[in-house]
Amino acid sequence: MRAKYINPFTDFGFKKIFGEEASKPLLIDFLNALLPTQHKIIDLSFKNTEQLGQTEADRKAIYDIYCESEIGEKFIVELQKAKQNYFKERTIYYSTFPIREQAEKGEWNYNLKAVYCVGILDFTFDDYESEPEKSEVVHTIQLKNQHGKTFYDKLTYIYLEMPNFILKEEKLATRLDKWLYFIKNLEDFQSIPAIFNDEVFVRAFEKAEISMYRQAELEQYEASLKVFRDNKAVYDYAIETAHKEGMNKGLLEGIKEGMNKGLQEGMNKGLQEGMNKGLQEGKIEIAKKMKIKGLSLSEIADLTGLSESEIDTL
């Protein structure tokens, strides 16, 4: 069955729903559902999503959505479709630009407006230590001291791990629940569920209805959807193939080397080295295939973990 509504995890779909001037009421409603009530947003203005550093050595930061509230608070909203190296570092780097742009010429008391970095993730982090953390959807991070007390409350990172959101329609309890359910399931809807009966969500479905788009918009969406599907297929294939090839090669080489070095010590060390070598070879094979398919060095590096210099020599 052909989709009636766009995929919000595509660049086109995400910006169509939340990133256009006519979409401001939707973005305001979504952010207000996510933030504490004392930070309620009345109005927003979109800002240039491309920010440059102060020197030529600074990297360029490009956000999906960058906006400012009526009291000067800054909001960066990013959609991240696949896990990549140093993603957390990237969001921290992004947050420095709306901080630095607040500097005033001449006398200035350094009183900063709050900055929020919101990441909607189509993957989960794998470095949580406790089981409850691993299944949580919303992760809110602020600067804290060694006693767990907030040291600075004007810089907040909020990550939404969408694979962890598993609520069914009848279990939705909050406004944020509704938004997360909308984002995760939008492409599968063929009609508007009864729970989305207010003006904001009706407008969101109108923005997302594919049949309402002009030909130029349809072409942009199809191109964006193709990129999304290709990247997802490549990523899934890379993970699956690297895992299988690494396990097979690692197991065989590990057993062989382990037998030569001794039953206990050799098996332990050989298995580890063999698996590492096999996984590396698996990544290289996948990188070759990605290169043939025309992916850029940076995309291949993000998906495989290899360096661009390693990929360039393949």
Task: Tell me if 153 is assigned to some domain.
Answer: yes
End-to-end CA distance of the chain: 41
Residue-wise pLDDT tens digits, 16-51: 999 999 999 999 999 999 998 777 899 999 987 776
- The count of other CB atoms within 10 Å of the CB of residue 261 is 14
**What is the radius of gyration, based on Cα positions, of the chain?**
23
Is 244 contained in some domain?
yes
Q: Has residue 82 got a pLDDT over 70?
A: yes
pLDDT in tens, 126-149: 877 777 888 999 999 999 999 999
CA dist., res. 167 & res. 74, Å (int): 30
| Bridge partners for 46 per DSSP | 67
Contact between 176 and 34 (Cβ < 8 Å): yes
Q: Is the pLDDT of residue 57 over 60?
A: no
Do 159 and 245 share a structural domain? no
Tell me the average pLDDT across 69-83. 90
Mean per-residue pLDDT, 70-88 = 88
Which of the listed residues 161, 178, 212 is the one where a domain comes to its end? 212
Using one digit for the tens of pLDDT, what is the confidence trace for 256-265? 665 566 556 6
Does one domain contain both 78 and 179? yes
Instruction: Report pTM.
Output: 0.72
C-alpha dist (Å) from residue 144 to 139, 250, 314: 15, 42, 45
Domain count along the chain: 2
Quote the crossing angle between the two packed helices 215-261 and 264-292, to the nearest 10°. 150
179's CB contacts (< 8 A; 6+ apart) are: 29, 30, 33, 34
The long-range contacts involving 310-314, CB below 8 angstroms and separated by at least 24 positions, are 310/284, 311/287, 314/284, 314/287, 314/288
The tokens describing 170, both together, are: 């009848």
**Strand, coil or helix: what is 78?**
strand
111 and 171 co-located in one domain: yes
Residue 92's closest CA among 19, 165, 52, 142? 142
Domain region containing 301: 221-312
Question: Mean of the per-residue pLDDT values for the chain?
Answer: 85
Please answer whether residues 234 and 283 qualify as being in contact, where contact means their C-beta atoms are separated by less than 8 angstroms. Answer: no
Q: Is residue 3 part of a domain?
A: no
Residues 243 and 298 in one domain: yes
Nearest to 138 by CA among 218, 63, 35: 35
* Distance of alpha carbon 306 from alpha carbon 314, whole angstroms: 11
pLDDT band at residue 288 using 50, 70 and 90 as cut-offs: confident
> Which tens digits make up the pLDDT trace of 98-123?
999 999 888 889 999 999 999 999 98
